[in-house]
Chain A
Amino acid sequence: MADIAVHEPEAGDPGHHDHGGHDDHDAHAEHVTSTGLSNNKMAMWMFLGSECLLFGGLISTYMLYRGRHSGGLGPDQIYDIPFTSVSSFVLLMSSLTMVLAVSAAARKDEPNTNLWLTITALLGATFVGGQVYEFTSFYREGLGFTKSLFSSSFYTLTGFHGVHVTVGVIMLLALVGINKRGRLTGKKAEVVELVGLYWHFVDIVWIIIFTLVYLIPS
């Protein structure tokens, strides 16, 4: 282990000034990372980059198998475009409420931060509810998970996305709860921004799924 000494402030220490400009300097010096950027934000962007690969694989699989339904129920017979369009619009608007929450957090406007986070969670929950309804109606029409390669790849892709939205809703509600109890330590605005990045990512994945899976016919 390298001997990295952290200088603890002591009273009367000639190398340390208890008050004044040097405190600012120390705080900034310790905050600075090797890149000069927030490590948390860097990690989140790396995570999102890796998530692109996950969804890239799932979307690729769906695109290859969407025509493989052996004359059974296929995309053209089963999709309800008006319903999915409304769901897409709901998720798109949740991105607006999320960015408003991030904006409010940057202004240190806690009531509005909590309000917009809660609205975002509600819109996300509405989207997930719509997806559950869609899956149920597809299943009742005879499109089971193992019915065809099309159905397996469709349920896997949209199901994975739905799980991501559900995780996002849990993160948003947890963030509101922790923030209301005043237990959110560190940089609040950055925490909200990180959750926001995840949420927007979920939205952009749906932008692709909505076009490639629902709107472009097989």
Chain B
Amino acid sequence: MSTTTEHVEHGHADDHDDAHSDHKPDSYYIKVALALGLITAGEVYASYADWLGRAFVPLLLIMMAIKFIMVVSLFMHLKFDNKIFSYLFYTGLILAILVYIAFLACFHFFSGN
């Protein structure tokens, strides 16, 4: 079995991989990083802007979600990769969010508030 594996690894696996790679030019990633940096600056500014009032928390959450999706989709290539990887990752993420909701619900219901 090991012979077969080595044969594959040193054989045409690299070519196979290259044929399916979907990497963007470096300038694309630099633009994405600049956008991420700007959003981060916006987040920090928002944390000092008292005039935002009640819009402050939703605004921060939206900016956080945009940054999260940009990194996952563009830097981690989930947007261009097979959907199975998206399902695996987002299943974990959705479960984590459900855990948080369950936590909050438990503490809310049992604390008597």
Measuring CB to CB, which residues of chain A are less than 8 angstroms from any residue of chain B?
6, 8, 23-24, 26-28, 30-31, 35, 37, 41-42, 45-46, 48-53, 55-57, 59-61, 63-64, 81-82, 85, 88-89, 92-93, 95-96, 98-100, 102-103, 106-107, 185-190, 196-197, 200-201, 203-204, 207-208, 210-212, 215-216
Determine which residue in A27, A98, A189, A190 has the highest number of CB atoms from chain B within 10 A of its CB, and name it.
A27
A211-B64 contact given A6-B1, A52-B96, A93-B37, CB 8 Å threshold:
yes
A63 CB contacts on chain B under 8 angstroms: 100, 104
Interface of chain B residues 78 through 96 with chain A (CB within 8 A): 82, 84-85, 88-93, 95-96
In the docked arrangement, what's the CA distance between A107 and B99, Å? 41
Select which of A24, A26, A48, A216 is within 8 A of B89 by beta carbon.
A48
5 A-B pairs with C-beta separation under 8 A: A48-B92, A57-B99, A200-B72, A211-B60, A216-B57
In the docked arrangement, what's the CA distance between A64 and B43, Å? 23
Q: Contact between A215 and B96 (Cβ–Cβ < 8 Å)?
A: no
**Closest residue of B by beta carbon distance from A7:** B4
Residue-wise, chain B 36-68 has the 8 Å CB interface mask toward A (1 for contact) of 110010011011100000000100110110011
In the docked arrangement, what's the CA distance between A23 and B8, Å? 10
A37 CB contacts on chain B under 8 angstroms: 82, 84-85
Select which of A64, A196, A201, A210 is within 8 A of B103 by beta carbon.
A64
Select which of B26, B67, B75, B104 is within 8 A of A64 by beta carbon.
B104
A49 CB contacts on chain B under 8 angstroms: 88-93
Select which of B10, B16, B44, B72 is within 8 A of A28 by beta carbon.
B16
Distance from B95 Cβ to chain A, minimum over Cβ atoms (Å): 6
Q: Contact between B17 and A189 (Cβ–Cβ < 8 Å)?
A: yes
A46 CB contacts on chain B under 8 angstroms: 88
Q: Contact between B68 and A204 (Cβ–Cβ < 8 Å)?
A: yes
A185-B9 contact given A49-B91, A53-B95, A211-B64, CB 8 Å threshold:
yes
B90 CB contacts on chain A under 8 angstroms: 49
Q: Contact between B71 and A200 (Cβ–Cβ < 8 Å)?
A: yes
Distance from A118 Cβ to chain B, minimum over Cβ atoms (Å): 17
Distance from B69 Cβ to chain A, minimum over Cβ atoms (Å): 9
**Closest residue of A by beta carbon distance from B102:** A60
B60 CB contacts on chain A under 8 angstroms: 211, 215-216
Select which of B21, B46, B84, B93 is within 8 A of A42 by beta carbon.
B84
Q: Contact between A27 and B23 (Cβ–Cβ < 8 Å)?
A: no
**Closest residue of A by beta carbon distance from B85:** A45
Q: Contact between B9 and A197 (Cβ–Cβ < 8 Å)?
A: no
**Closest residue of A by beta carbon distance from B67:** A207
A95-B21 contact given A53-B96, A81-B47, A187-B9, CB 8 Å threshold:
no
Q: Contact between A59 and B68 (Cβ–Cβ < 8 Å)?
A: no
A56-B64 contact given A27-B8, A31-B13, CB 8 Å threshold:
no
Q: Contact between B88 and A45 (Cβ–Cβ < 8 Å)?
A: yes
Q: Contact between A208 and B68 (Cβ–Cβ < 8 Å)?
A: yes
In the docked arrangement, what's the CA distance between A57 and B104, Å? 11
Determine which residue in A49, A93, A210 has the highest number of CB atoms from chain B within 10 A of its CB, and name it.
A49
Select which of B8, B14, B75 is within 8 A of A200 by beta carbon.
B75
